[in-house]
Chain A
Amino acid sequence: MDKKFLIVDDSSTMRRIVVNTLKSLGYTDYVEAEDGKVAFEKLTADDSINFIITDWNMPVMTGLELTKAIRANDKTKELPILMVTTRGIKEDIVQALQARVNNYVVKPFTPQILKDKIDLVLAN
């Protein structure tokens, strides 16, 4: 099945970098959102989205809140989520895992790290 990514980050620079990385990996189907609320609206309106890459710190709705909202919704609860954030302390990582993100990448990341984590999430 083709992958359609939802890239959620309030920084347009970061969205661009993630998009570029995905393109270099051969993934060209994606939509973008600047915060968790917009992301959730797009997600519930578009059944073809099947992979979420989200930042943590965002206005309106954080990535953690978005993750909880996705997991609480029957329609979206099984979707893979990759958290990509600057937050690299253990408590944050554990908190994200508790909210059931599938994997966790700290910024700055290399394209290879992002690729490895996407592959790992897809493999599982």
Chain B
Amino acid sequence: MSDTVKDLSGMLEKLKEVESVFKFGEKMVPVVEGFVSFISDFIPIIEEVNGSIEETRAKIPEASSQIDKVTSATELAITEVLDKVDEITNQLSSLDESINEIIERRNRVEDLVENLQKVIKGNESAEVIFGELMEELDIGLTLETMKNKLQDITESTDQITMSLQVQDITSQQLAAVNHLIISVQHKLGSLLSVFDDSMDKSQRTPDLELPGTHFDANASYEKPDVSQDMVDSIVSSETTTQDDIDKLFS
């Protein structure tokens, strides 16, 4: 085979390779077109996601503010209830003093009655009236009942005061939620920057300042006696020696 023929054969093979590339290209065109179409469709979705993220971020300050308002309103309402509880407590205390005064006077009357009984002894009609008078004066039981009722009411007001501590507990739970949603706002802001760094940051809702973690996220309202019993057992066992406490942390 002459060199010319060899050259032509080589050229033919190269042309076939080029042809196959073109054929492959032809096959790839619909795929590329599909990909371009997919990207075209995807852009509005990304934009929508961006818009949705920004919309969500924009709502967070309002939600956070609402939580703060709930805390403030509850605290105000609880203060009003405590004012009323104070009034009731003061009135109960005043009533208790009055009853004690009546009891003291009654005791003095009893002494006088005893003397009177001696004086009228033998005078039948006077003794009948005296008997009726004694029945009317027999208010000892009523006074005891009143004192017991006052004690019950005092215990109820103590119970109300204790229950009002729920405000401190819920405010800590709300502070934990507030901290969480502000953290979410910050994360969404970071995500937005990744998706669309061309957006003017001044147009975005500014990040809220992350509040300090001065709350107990696990605060819960439980029956006080049960919780305190558990605490007391730990306190009594852990205060045995400082070494015992240190061992727990070593």
Interface, chain A (partner B; CB < 8 A): 9-14, 16-17, 20-21, 24, 56-60, 62, 85-90, 93-94, 97-98, 103-111, 113
Question: Which residues of chain A are near B78, meaning CB under 8 Å?
Answer: 13
B216 and A85 form a contact (CB under 8 A)? yes
Whole-angstrom CA separation of A3 from B26 in the bound complex: 95
Whole-angstrom CA separation of A16 from B164 in the bound complex: 11
From residue A22, how far is it (CB to closest CB) to chain B in Å?
12
From residue A34, how far is it (CB to closest CB) to chain B in Å?
11
A108 and B163 form a contact (CB under 8 A)? yes
A110 and B75 form a contact (CB under 8 A)? no
From residue B49, how far is it (CB to closest CB) to chain A in Å?
36
From residue B217, how far is it (CB to closest CB) to chain A in Å?
10
B156 within 8 A of A: no
Question: Which residues of chain B are near A113, meaning CB under 8 Å?
Answer: 224-225, 228
On whether A88 and B231 interact (CB within 8 A), knowing A12-B75, A20-B86, A94-B238, the answer reads yes
Question: Which residues of chain A are near B228, meaning CB under 8 Å?
Answer: 105-106, 109, 113
Whole-angstrom CA separation of A82 from B2 in the bound complex: 109
From residue B169, how far is it (CB to closest CB) to chain A in Å?
6
Which of B86, B231, B234 gathers the greatest number of chain A CB atoms within 10 Å?
A: B231
B171 within 8 A of A: yes
Question: Which residues of chain B are near A109, meaning CB under 8 Å?
Answer: 162, 165, 224, 228
B79 within 8 A of A: yes
- Extra inter-chain contacts (8) besides given A13-B75, A88-B230, CB under 8 Å: A17-B82, A60-B214, A86-B169, A93-B238, A107-B168, A108-B224, A110-B225, A113-B228
Count B interface residues, CB 8 Å. 42
A sample of 9 cross-chain residue pairs with beta-carbon separation below 8 angstroms, ordered by A number, consists of A13-B165, A17-B82, A86-B216, A93-B234, A98-B249, A104-B235, A106-B227, A108-B221, A110-B225
Which of B214, B225, B249 gathers the greatest number of chain A CB atoms within 10 Å?
A: B214
Question: Which residues of chain B are near A12, meaning CB under 8 Å?
Answer: 75, 79
B172 within 8 A of A: yes
A59 and B75 form a contact (CB under 8 A)? no
Main secondary structure of the interface of A (DSSP, over half): mixed
A105 and B231 form a contact (CB under 8 A)? yes
Question: Which residues of chain A are near B245, meaning CB under 8 Å?
Answer: 94, 97-98
B231 and A108 form a contact (CB under 8 A)? no
Question: Which residues of chain B are near A89, meaning CB under 8 Å?
Answer: 218
Chain B 206-236 per-residue mask, 1 if CB under 8 angstroms from chain A, else 0: 0000001011101111101101101100110
Chain B 39-79 per-residue mask, 1 if CB under 8 angstroms from chain A, else 0: 00000000000000000000000000000000000010011
Whole-angstrom CA separation of A113 from B229 in the bound complex: 10
Shortest Cβ distance from B163 into A: residue: A108
Shortest Cβ distance from A105 into B: residue: B228
Chain B 163-179 per-residue mask, 1 if CB under 8 angstroms from chain A, else 0: 11111110110000000
Question: Which residues of chain B are near A21, meaning CB under 8 Å?
Answer: 161
B94 within 8 A of A: no
Q: Which of A13, A60, A97, A103 has a CB less than 8 Å from the CB of B168?
A: A13
From residue A28, how far is it (CB to closest CB) to chain B in Å?
14
Whole-angstrom CA separation of A97 from B235 in the bound complex: 8
Whole-angstrom CA separation of A59 from B171 in the bound complex: 14
